[in-house]
Structure formats: C-alpha cells, structure tokens
Chains A and B, each alone.
Chain A
Amino acid sequence: MKKEGALKIAYYNATCRVFRSAMMMFFVFMMSFTTYTFSYISYGTQNGMESLSKRLGADIAVVPGRYTYLVENALFRGEPCTIYFESEWIQKIKLIEGIEQVTPQLFIATLNGADCCMGQSVQLIGFDPVTDFVVRPWIEENYAGELKDGYVYIGNSIAYEKGDTVTYFGTEFKVTGKLEKTGMGYDKSIFIKMDDAYRLANSKYGKNYLAFSSDGNLISTIVAKTKKNADTADIVKEIEEKYGAYDVAAISTDTFMKTISQSINKFSNISNITIVLNIITSMVALISLFSITINERKKEFGILFSIGADRGLIFRTILCEAFMITGIGTLSGSAFAQIILYFFQTLIHESLDIPYLSISIRQNLKVIGMVSAISLLTGIISAVHSTYRICSAEACELIKEG
C-alpha cells in the first residue's frame, strides 16, 4: 500500500466519527487559543515596557507631593489630571548636585462633555520647547520642524487627525500630527507649547474652570536628567530631605520602571502557569481520547494486519489522523485568538493597567510557530503512545480483544 492510503484511511476515520474528531479538535483548539492569547499579551506587555523606558526620557520627576499618584496615573493610564506648584522650584532643583538638565511640564485635564471642550476628557501636556528633552526628541522622530503657536500634537488613541481643529477651554488648536503608539498614557494626551497652555488657562473658560492663576508661574512637574556618574537614588533622597517639608516629592524613573516591571513579571508568571496547565490538561485529554478510540478499534486494526497491512501503515494512519485533528484545531484556535485579540485589544490594554503595545508581525509569527509546534507535538505524542500499544500486539490478539 502507498502512503496516500494512510492519509485516505485517516480522512475517513476522522470524518466518519465526526463527534469524536470534533471533541479532539476542541481540546487542541482550546490549547492553541489559550497559548496564543497569553503569549501574545505577554509580548504586548514587554513591548509596552520597552516603549515606556524609551519614552520616559528622564531620570527624575519632581512633583507636588500629594499628587504623585495622579502623575503616575496620567503617565501610565492616561487618566487626566490638573496639578500645579510654583515654577520657582525649577531653579532650586537645577542647583542640586548631579542634575544635568531640567524642564517643566504642565498637566491640564480638559472637561468631559462641556461646551468649551471637545469630546471626552483628555490630558493636555504643556512642554517648554526651549528646554524640553523628553517630548521633543520623540516628536522629531515623526515630524520635522518646530511646533507653532496654536498647534498641537495628539496621542495615537485620540480620534482626531492631522489638520483637524480641536477646542479646549474655548481655545482652538490645529492638529499638526498624530504621534506613534506608545502603549502608555501619552496615547491619550495632547501635547501643546507651554505658552499655549498658559494662553488657554488665561481664557474666559480657563479662568472659570481651572483652579490656578495663569500668570506663567505655575507648573505640574519638573523632569530632570542626571549627570552620567551621578546616583539617582541619592539625588532623589536629597530632594526629599531638602524640600519634602514643602510638599515636594521626587520620583526616580528607575523606581517607576521597577514597579511596572514587577507587575509585568507577575502577569508573565500567571500566564506561563496557565499555558503549562492548559497544555498538560489538553495532552492528557488527547492521549485519553486517542487511547479509548484506538482501544475501541482493535478489531479494525487486527483485520487490517491480517489482510497484509504492515505496522508502518497503521502508524502512518494514526499519525495522519493526529496531524489532521491537531492541524485544524491549531489553525482555528490561533485564528480565533487573533480575531478576539484584534477586536478587544483596547479593552485588554485598559484592563491590564500596565503599558501594553500590540506585537509586531515577526513576534506574531514567532507566537504562531510556538503554538503550532506545541499542538503538533501534543498530537504526535498522543498518537505515538496509542500506536505503540497497537503495533506491539499480534493480529489475532487484537481481533479477539476487539
């Protein structure tokens, strides 16, 4: 008999027992779906972490002490906030030993559904184009030239496009461009020049709704870069010791990153445990199903042996059946996971509460390869285990037992 014979027999076996084949496919489907989904999200969180470390661009952030959590929420989750303290702190922080560069930022939350502000509440981040070293390098990766007065850059999750006009606190701004996705709060932020932020705060609506005076002496955070050999932890300690009593807090971006990294590690551990448990469960289920089916078909194999079929044909038949079932299960499981992840990616990002960035095609192919390898291996192990028992018995023995 030829090799095609095995494939044909396997096809008939699979299609004649639709329910059994469907059950086996379902186990492989579930295994592929879970492995694909968790691996995809794990990669996504790693990408988010990389993007975060690339985009933070500073070593220390100095903020009003009681609002530290608001700055963290704005940066990581894009939850808009309006916070401020005196700009005189810029000079004081600059004088601390080990600080190389400082730049202020102003955080203003727009109003949700108000007449003076368009759409949902977003975070306006005012930056000083002269001293800035955090936002500008990032913008320059995508857009050349200076940001003009009355123009803004918008985060990737905000629905407006280049050339659109947006109105906040009754002040109109033109969208210069949309920034690339970062997987952090910047995606839901709008970047404006510090002068424009003050102009907006000075407007009729700004004066009514914003709690601070707008004479240009207020800022929300001072981001600082330390000198090459300076110890960031020591500088943070110094700032807190010197100015902590004035409700000024310093956050090291390393501490930020460490906290996020711990959350990502926790998630990765949970996802790895889930994947392993799922693989074990599916493997046990597949081996059991194969064993039960092969046991039921002893007579069939015994007859095949007695009419001259060799053990190789039986092995190939069962292996082909396993390949068919695991192949279809893997493909459908991975495809369904991809559809779910595509449609629910924003929900996943929002629910995770950690930076998340969709994976690249290369990473996606890697995940598909891994899922296929695991599923096919599971199928082969199940098939080999069952075939070994059949092939080691004699034809008459199999017919008798069947």
Chain B
Amino acid sequence: MKNKSFIGIAFIVYALALAVGPYTLYQGCEKGDMLMACHKSLSILLGLGILVGIIGILVIITKLKNVILISNIIGLVAGVFAILIPSVIVGGCKMETMPCRTTTFPVIYVVSGIFIVINLVSIFFQLKQFKGSK
C-alpha cells in the first residue's frame, strides 16, 4: 500500500514536471511566428506528461494485481522517451544559449533520469518479491 502510494505520487510529480514545469518554472523559448523544434518537443512532452499523470492516479486508486510492476515498465519507457524526444527524435533550438537548451531540456533530462532510476529500483524489488512469493 505504502509502495503503491509512493509510486503513484512519483508518477504524478513526474507528470507535472513534464506537462506543467516547461510552461511555468523552467520555461522554454518564447513562441514567435515560427513554430520552433523545441515547441514541438514540449507539446509531445505535454502529452506524455498527461499520460504519465493518468497512470499515476490509476496506480493509487486501482487494486489490480501487479499494477506497480506494469506501471513501472510503462514509466521506464516514458522516461526514456522523455529524454529521447528533445535530444534525438524532435530536438530543440540550434543555439546552445537558447532557454530550451540551457534550462528546460536539462531539467527534463535530470528529472527523467531520476524517474528512470526510481522505476528500475521498483522493478527490481517487485521482481524480488514476485520470486519470493513463488
């Protein structure tokens, strides 16, 4: 129960970091007439953040068996994608001094890294528990 709440909260915090943070705390580049690559990346991350947030709520409210393990696997994939979207798949502004490259993306990389580690540790303990119960 305690683990479920922790994982659920971690998912919701990460969802906020992806969906709300880039528009409030660590804002990206200003939107002009042109749609820049960083805006596309942030839009996709917003969608990903909403998805992660929904999973976080589901983890807290549902009583399904293995819900933590399944959500951890999804979280792991989401974390990897959150890093790959701004760095490889879509990218950001070319100039390294632009706000997206100095602040927004680095925060997303660090937060995603921490989220991946949390999921990996949780998967490890879930599998250990799973083996133990067998």
Q: What 1/0 mask marks residues of chain A from 329 to 348 whose CB sits below 8 Å from any chain B CB?
A: 00000000001100110110
Flag if A346 contacts B110 (CB, 8 Å): no
Flag if A159 contacts B95 (CB, 8 Å): yes
Stretch in contact with the other chain, from B38-46, B63-71, B97-105, B123-131: B97-105
Q: Which of B88-121 contact A (CB under 8 A)?
A: 93-98, 101-103, 106, 109-110, 113
Question: Please, which residue of chain A has its CB at the minimum distance from the CB of B106?
Answer: A343
Flag if A346 contacts B32 (CB, 8 Å): no
If A120-B95, A157-B96 touch, does A347 touch B106 (CB 8 Å cutoff)?
Answer: yes
Q: What 1/0 mask marks residues of chain A from 45 to 88 whose CB sits below 8 Å from any chain B CB?
A: 00000000000000000000000000000000010000000000
Interface presence of B34 (CB below 8 A): yes
Flag if B97 contacts A346 (CB, 8 Å): yes
Interface presence of A401 (CB below 8 A): no
Flag if A119 contacts B95 (CB, 8 Å): yes
Flag if A113 contacts B32 (CB, 8 Å): yes
- In the assembled complex, how far is the CB of residue A115 from the closest CB belonging to chain B, in whole angstroms? 11
Interface presence of A296 (CB below 8 A): no
Partner of A346 from B33, B94, B96 at Cβ < 8 Å: B96
Q: How far is the CA of A159 from the CA of B96 in the complex (A)?
A: 7
Interface presence of A7 (CB below 8 A): no
- In the assembled complex, how far is the CB of residue B52 from the closest CB belonging to chain A, in whole angstroms? 21
Flag if B110 contacts A113 (CB, 8 Å): no
Partner of B113 from A159, A339, A344, A347 at Cβ < 8 Å: A339
Flag if A339 contacts B97 (CB, 8 Å): no
Q: How far is the CA of A159 from the CA of B95 in the complex (A)?
A: 5
Flag if A343 contacts B96 (CB, 8 Å): no
Flag if B102 contacts A158 (CB, 8 Å): no
Flag if A343 contacts B109 (CB, 8 Å): yes
Interface presence of A316 (CB below 8 A): no
Q: How far is the CA of A113 from the CA of B110 in the complex (A)?
A: 30
Q: What 1/0 mask marks residues of chain A from 149 to 168 whose CB sits below 8 Å from any chain B CB?
A: 00000000111100000000
Flag if A350 contacts B94 (CB, 8 Å): no
Question: Please, which residue of chain A has its CB at the minimum distance from the CB of B105?
Answer: A343
Question: Please, which residue of chain A has its CB at the minimum distance from the CB of B110?
Answer: A343
Q: How far is the CA of A340 from the CA of B103 in the complex (A)?
A: 11
Residues on the B chain within 8 Å of A188, using CB: 97
Flag if B97 contacts A157 (CB, 8 Å): yes
- In the assembled complex, how far is the CB of residue B11 from the closest CB belonging to chain A, in whole angstroms? 22
- In the assembled complex, how far is the CB of residue A165 from the closest CB belonging to chain B, in whole angstroms? 14
Residues on the B chain within 8 Å of A347, using CB: 102-103, 106
Residues on the A chain within 8 Å of B96, using CB: 157, 159, 346
Flag if A157 contacts B95 (CB, 8 Å): yes
Q: Which of A78, A188, A346 has the most CB of B within 10 A?
A: A346
- In the assembled complex, how far is the CB of residue B113 from the closest CB belonging to chain A, in whole angstroms? 7
Q: What 1/0 mask marks residues of chain B from 21 to 39 whose CB sits below 8 Å from any chain A CB?
A: 0000000000011100000
Q: How far is the CA of A347 from the CA of B101 in the complex (A)?
A: 9
Partner of B110 from A78, A120, A157, A340 at Cβ < 8 Å: A340
Question: Please, which residue of chain B has its CB at the minimum distance from the CB of A348?
Answer: B102
Partner of A350 from B93, B97, B113 at Cβ < 8 Å: B97
Q: How far is the CA of A300 from the CA of B32 in the complex (A)?
A: 69
Q: How far is the CA of A347 from the CA of B95 in the complex (A)?
A: 13
Residues on the A chain within 8 Å of B102, using CB: 344, 346-347, 350
Q: Which of A103-127 contact B (CB under 8 A)?
A: 113, 119-120
- In the assembled complex, how far is the CB of residue A326 from the closest CB belonging to chain B, in whole angstroms? 22
Q: How far is the CA of A95 from the CA of B113 in the complex (A)?
A: 62
Q: How far is the CA of A188 from the CA of B96 in the complex (A)?
A: 10
Residues on the A chain within 8 Å of B109, using CB: 343
Q: How far is the CA of A6 from the CA of B101 in the complex (A)?
A: 49
Q: Which of B48-84 contact A (CB under 8 A)?
A: none
Residues on the A chain within 8 Å of B93, using CB: 120, 159
Q: Give residues in A with beta carbon < 8 Å to B.
A: 78, 113, 119-120, 157-160, 188, 339-340, 343-344, 346-347, 350
5 A-B residue contacts at CB 8 Å?
A120-B93, A157-B95, A159-B93, A344-B102, A347-B106
Q: 9 additional contacts, CB 8 Å, given A343-B106, A350-B102? A: A113-B32, A120-B95, A120-B98, A157-B96, A159-B93, A159-B96, A344-B106, A347-B103, A347-B106
